Structure 1
Amino acid sequence: MKIHRTSSFKNPVQDHLWFRNWVERLEMANGRKYGEKVIHTSLGKTQIWTLKDFDPKKETLLVFPGARTTVLFWDLDKNLNALVDHVNIFLVETNGLPNLSDGNTPDIKGNGYGSWAKEIVDNLELDKVFVAGASFGGLICMKMALVCPERIHTVFLLNPGCLQPFSLRFKNLYYNLLPIFSPTEKNVRKFLYQAILCYPHHSLSKEAEQLLVDYEVFAIRNYKDNTQKPYDMGMELTGVTVPVYLLLGDKDLLFPYQKSAKNAVDSFSKLQEIKVFENVGHGIETFLPTFLYIRDTLIKSNKNNDQ
């Protein structure tokens, strides 16, 4: 696979240590120890987190994070407790994002990320998986669906960044650019409160919020981000032949939900359902009812397979 761009931490040893300390803080908050797997892929080292020992009797869920996040955001406030008893979970740290995976990336307009995702499934020796992705991770899911649909049961797209262009509305641009130009804790909180969360309905505990804020400040200040951003995949999505569930927040400033919903109806031949959560921002992967919805869908799918 051709490497198109490479991102990196400014001080890899020091910054990796900071990240591991952050993971330890999350583990203490959640009362669990994350397992680790390192897979060598065409993009270099890929870091994967697990919650429990693999159970061959259960189906498997592969999770991809949003841009400028770690996939461990999915377990803030122990949200993955809703899923862990029902499915094996592999939390994939996407290459090119500020995490412990290497920073190499393919051209985002090609299918390189899809081939990379297939490598992960092959390396984990999984036949077929459920796949979930938030924002940038939603685009990764779609690339995988185009490359190896036979390896996917169902895709869960959470406020995906592939159904429309990034919003250029003034409010969205202002709150997204504010912490980039001035990466202070105060500005990161403004961004989170206005674009990612939606208080009081979509909120985090004080401890989880502080973890999120600390990570974002760290990532903006210490990561040389050359990774391409998600784009509107348009007609490419008509080639997706796997079942798709679309989960949207009605307060998403980055990708307003109405347009995502319309484009999904126009694009996906196997669109199963569109679920819109009221008073939920872009960071839908931090919202517990999202996980309860996925859990109920997985249980229903398992029952249908048993019949």
Structure 2
Amino acid sequence: MQAHRFFMQTYSTCYFKDPVPDHQFIKQWVSKLEELNNRQYERNNVPNHLGNTVVWSLNSDRTTLPFLFIFPGFRTSSLFWDLDNGLQLIEDRYRIYLVETNGQPTLSDGNTPDIKTLDYGHWAAEVITHFTPDRVNVAGSSFGGLVCLKLAIAAPDKVDQIFLLNPGCFQAFSLSLKNLFYNLLPIVQPSVKNVKRFLDKAVFYPPAHYLPEERMQMIIDYEVFALTRHVDKAQKPYAMKKEELQRVEAAVHLIVGERDLLFPYLLTIKAAEQGLKNLKRVNVLPDTGHGIETLREALLKI
């Protein structure tokens, strides 16, 4: 298949404090999720301009199904999309590929490009082309939404439909005191107690938007690990300008949570409507926080 050609510079490199045991923690975490979900994720290693990218897949052998590539939020794994076994709702409709974004606390390498360039889009196209030369559907939550739009601009020939879940690319991170407090708390003091407080107050909206106890514990374990074992030097998402958004030709479907504290949904919708030429649909989910990709109702929209 034809390679996606471009030149990329590494902007920064993130890393684990002790890669061997830290990678082992992630592998054990994945095995535990597989046990909870009674499924196995196929691991794919994709060499590219940022090093190696790990991509988990489901249904890779069902060649009659269309592709769906998923890009995760910041400081998470793409497997968060299946924390409550939610992907079983759509796995009969897609070959699903869960991309572990480089630079995040995952098994992918730590190199990152400059977020203000189109390099994340070129990287995403390179990863996708490893599996297929054809157009694919893509979905992204929070930071992953920015990657999806960069991809659509950098390689419009690779993208069919785009699904954005509480994307972090239409407005700046909320500077409300409540949001800043709960987001900074676990960074300054990364304890189980503070991570749980952050999740309860900023990411979820209990009791309507929450997960069973054992699956919440999976998130807590992962976030404490990421905050204490991973050295984050990656740039954070930013609000893409209208001129940049208007370069997106692909059809976009927007799914937002009414209780998103990090990126308030009304501002996201307004910016999307003003910037995107091909915004097909907007779904607002009531009583839903920022961690929308964990909600089975959100995955049904895809």
Q: TM-score, normalised by structure 2?
A: 0.96
Q: How far is 1:101 from its partner?
A: 0.2
Q: 1:246 aligns with which of 239, 247, 254?
A: 254
Q: How far is 1:52 from its partner?
A: 2.6
Identity of aligned residues (%): 47
Give me the CA root mean square deviation.
0.7
CA distance in 1, matches of 2:63, 2:296: 26
Q: How far is 1:29 from its partner?
A: 0.6
CA distance in 2, matches of 1:14, 1:65: 23
The code of the aligned residue for 1:289 comes to E
CA distance in 1, matches of 2:133, 2:42: 18
Q: How far is 1:67 from its partner?
A: 0.3
Say yes or no: does 1:259 pair with 2:300.
no
Pairing 1:109-124 to 2, within 5 Å after superposition: 109-124=116-131
Maintained 8 Å contact 2:51/2:109: yes
Q: 1:292 aligns with which of 287, 292, 300?
A: 300
Which whole-Å deviations, capped at 9, do the CAs of 1:268-307 have from their partners, x for residues lacking one? 110001111000000000010011111xxxxxxxxxxxxx
Q: How far is 1:88 from its partner?
A: 0.2
- Cα separation, partners in 2 of 1:123 and 1:53, compared to 1, 3 Å: closer
CA distance in 2, matches of 1:197, 1:179: 15
Query: In the alignment, what sits opposite 1:297?
Result: none
CA distance in 1, matches of 2:125, 2:169: 19
Say yes or no: does 1:277 pair with 2:285.
yes
Q: How far is 1:194 from its partner?
A: 0.6
Which whole-Å deviations, capped at 9, do the CAs of 1:16-56 have from their partners, x for residues lacking one? 00110111110111011110100001000000001233322
Say yes or no: does 1:268 pair with 2:272.
no
Provide the secondary structure at the position in 1 that maps to 2:301.
helix
Which whole-Å deviations, capped at 9, do the CAs of 1:70-95 have from their partners, x for residues lacking one? 00000011000011111100000000
Maintained 8 Å contact 1:164/1:234: no
The code of the aligned residue for 1:58 comes to L
Query: In the alignment, what sits opposite 1:210?
Result: 217
Q: How far is 1:238 from its partner?
A: 1.1
Q: Which runs of 5+ in 1 are unaligned?
A: 295-307
Which whole-Å deviations, capped at 9, do the CAs of 1:192-247 have from their partners, x for residues lacking one? 01111111111101111000010000000000000100000012111111100011
Query: In the alignment, what sits opposite 1:130?
Result: 137
Query: In the alignment, what sits opposite 1:66?
Result: 73
Say yes or no: does 1:191 pair with 2:189.
no
The code of the aligned residue for 2:288 comes to V
Maintained 8 Å contact 1:159/1:255: yes
The code of the aligned residue for 2:126 comes to E
The code of the aligned residue for 1:170 comes to L
The code of the aligned residue for 1:288 comes to R
Provide the secondary structure at the position in 1 that maps to 2:97.
strand
Q: Which runs of 5+ in 2 are unaligned?
A: 1-7
Provide the secondary structure at the position in 2 that maps to 1:107.
coil
CA distance in 2, matches of 1:262, 1:269: 13
Which structure is higher in helix share?
Answer: 1
Q: How far is 1:125 from its partner?
A: 2.1
Aligned residues: 294
Pairing 1:159-174 to 2, within 5 Å after superposition: 159-174=166-181
